[in-house]
Amino acid sequence: MIQYKKEVERFGIFELQLKGREDDGLFADSGLWAEFSKEDRHFVAEGFYDGEGRLLIRFMPDEEGEWSFRIEGASAPAGGYAGQFHCLPAGADNHGPVSVSNATLFAYADGKPYTPFGTLLEAWHVQDESSRDRTIRTLTASPFNKARMSVVPQAGHAGNGETVISPFAIRQDGQPDGDCFEPAYFAKLEACVESLSRIGVEAELILFPASMDLEGSIRLTPEQEERYIRYAVSRLAAYRNVWWTMADLGDGTRRREVDWRAYLQTLRECDYGHHLCSIHGTPSAFDWGVPWLTHVSLRQEDVMLASDFTLQYEKPIVIDDCGREGIGAEPWDALTPEDMAYRIWEGLSRGGFAAHGESLRRPDGTSWSVHGGELLGESVERIAFLRGLLEDAPGYLTYSRQRHDASTLEKRGEYYLQYFGPHRFSSRDFGMQTGEFAVDIIDTWNMTIERLDQTYQQRFQIKLPGELYYALRLRKIGEGAEQDEPEKEQASA
């Protein structure tokens, strides 16, 4: 018997459910796939075993109208099975998956620009229900629209009051079985991914963190690792808010680069929708120029290098780990809130995207970037202020390579957002070929915007308070901004 709905919205999840034999050997190879077709477009989605004799195939249709499918494989009905479903228009809050736009930027499938404001939530999804609920409430009220999490978190990061389900079946000797998955674990993970989607948050899933221990030791063979990739991707590729991080190399995980290339090819084969995909690490950890990687994911504290890496790779530069706001024994976990906010401002102003982390500990020893819950730090308000400024800007802003003494985002001739960070300028000189500009002096830490009384044109100087973490915004008044070219700007000490 095959069950499925006849209608699904665009970028929603179409699911085929088949009843088969109860056989844990199907975790390794479900023996099932389906080809989905619309006119001359064809996609293949692998099936997966969900336990108790249940086999599933999931697909995310990206185009409205009539779709057809055909189920094949050893676990398919004799002679295969063919059917159809109708894809409806996407709902108002459904913008589709995010992909690369204009080489170094991002956009949703419907064309809406997307600027990642990411945060690390490594193991929030394996905490108890109360903690998960608090995390979703916190994210809903936060500026963050991307959460980075491990499919299988590291040892010691799981559970705070709830029995932890292992992602792998447990053998009689109490050890995890790398050949047999635990569907209940992945169902819980999927529910968390869906919860993020409902509040507009992308779920960046790390397939291989530093270790895949959770609460028990597990060491997978290369064959088991490849099966794990196929199983995870088959289950999760139909979720429109999923991004893939193949591995986190930033913590010293040792594995030959050729392994990751082979695994990236496996992922690409299984992921018919070609979600965003990267490997995370220090700048020397991997060659991000390979075509299977859509963007660069870095562990890098010097966020000013974002502009250099953008030029080198011609891909979006996401500094997913630039440090964490906290009080700790290691520099990486001991950033002041001012420094955390600075790094995110500077990374964005350099044409990249820097992400947030928080290691401040609660009395029970938990922290945001491992367990989720509530945010304790002071940087989050300043990040929200920055996001508001960018959302008020006229569409895509690009990094200006003409301005070497102050990081600047611009829409050439129309809009300029210049960030001074640790520099205490007393004034800035500008020269514009045409147009009249309104000027705002922005205190990024105290989150204030001072609109200057007069407007400016041609050559002019703006007096500044000479304080830390200030920014300047210039907005052209009137029409014809797209074609105007500014003259080279001068700085005054």
User: Cα dihedral angle (87, 91, 97, 99), rounded to 10 degrees?
Assistant: 110
pLDDT at res. 245 = 97
Residues 182 and 245 reside in one and the same domain: yes
CATH code of residue 34: 2.60.40.10
Please give the pLDDT value at position 96.
Answer: 98
**425 and 289 together in one domain:** no
Domain with 261 in it: 99-391
Do residue 116 and residue 69 come from a single domain?
no
| Domain match, 223 and 329 both | yes
Q: Tell me 163's DSSP state.
A: P
The number of domains in the chain is 3
Q: Find, among 378, 310, 306, the residue nearest to 348 by Cα.
A: 306
**Residue at 313 is within a domain:** yes
Q: Which of 170, 126, 171 is nearest to 370 (CA)?
A: 126
Q: Is residue 63 part of a domain?
A: yes
| pLDDT at position 491 | 38
The last residue of one of the domains, among 391, 406, 436, is 391
Sequential pLDDT tens for the chain (493 residues): 899 999 999 999 999 999 988 888 899 889 999 999 999 999 999 999 999 999 999 999 999 999 999 999 999 999 899 999 999 999 999 999 999 999 999 999 999 999 999 999 999 999 999 999 999 999 999 999 999 999 998 766 665 555 567 899 888 887 888 899 999 999 999 999 999 999 999 999 999 987 665 545 677 888 999 999 999 999 999 999 999 999 998 655 455 565 888 999 999 999 998 999 999 999 988 899 998 899 999 999 999 999 999 999 999 999 999 999 999 999 999 999 999 999 999 999 999 999 999 999 999 999 999 999 999 999 999 999 999 999 999 988 999 998 778 999 999 999 999 999 999 999 999 999 899 999 999 999 999 999 999 999 999 999 999 999 999 999 999 865 443 333 334 433 3
Q: What is the CATH classification number for the domain harbouring 453?
A: 2.60.40
Domain closes at, from 54, 88, 122:
88
Instruction: Determine the pLDDT at residue 156.
Output: 67
Question: Do residue 250 and residue 378 come from a single domain?
Answer: yes
CB-facing half-sphere around the CA of 360: CA atoms within 13 A: 16
**371, 391, 411: which is the final residue of a domain?**
391
Q: What is the CATH number of the domain that holds 342?
A: 3.20.20.80
Shared domain for 64 and 164, answered yes or no, is: no
Q: Are residues 115 and 49 in the same domain?
A: no
Examine the domain organization and report whether 276 and 353 are in the same domain.
yes
Is residue 291 one of the residues assigned to a domain?
A: yes
Torsion sign, CA atoms 346, 349, 350, 352: positive
Distances (CA, A) of 254 to 18, 36, 288, 292, 350: 40, 39, 17, 21, 31
The answer to whether residue 128 sits within a structural domain is yes
* pLDDT for residue 1: 82
Answer whether 0.75 is exceeded by the pTM. Answer: yes
What's the pLDDT score for residue 486?
38
Residue 93 lies in a domain: no
- Domain membership flag for residue 20: yes
One domain, residues 407 and 384: no
Q: Do 350 and 437 fall into the same domain?
A: no
Q: Is residue 439 part of a domain?
A: yes
- Element spanning 69, H or E: strand 65-72
The verdict on residue 94 lying in a domain is no
Same domain for 284 and 333? yes
Q: Are 150 and 129 within one domain? A: yes
CB 61 within 8 A of CB 12: yes
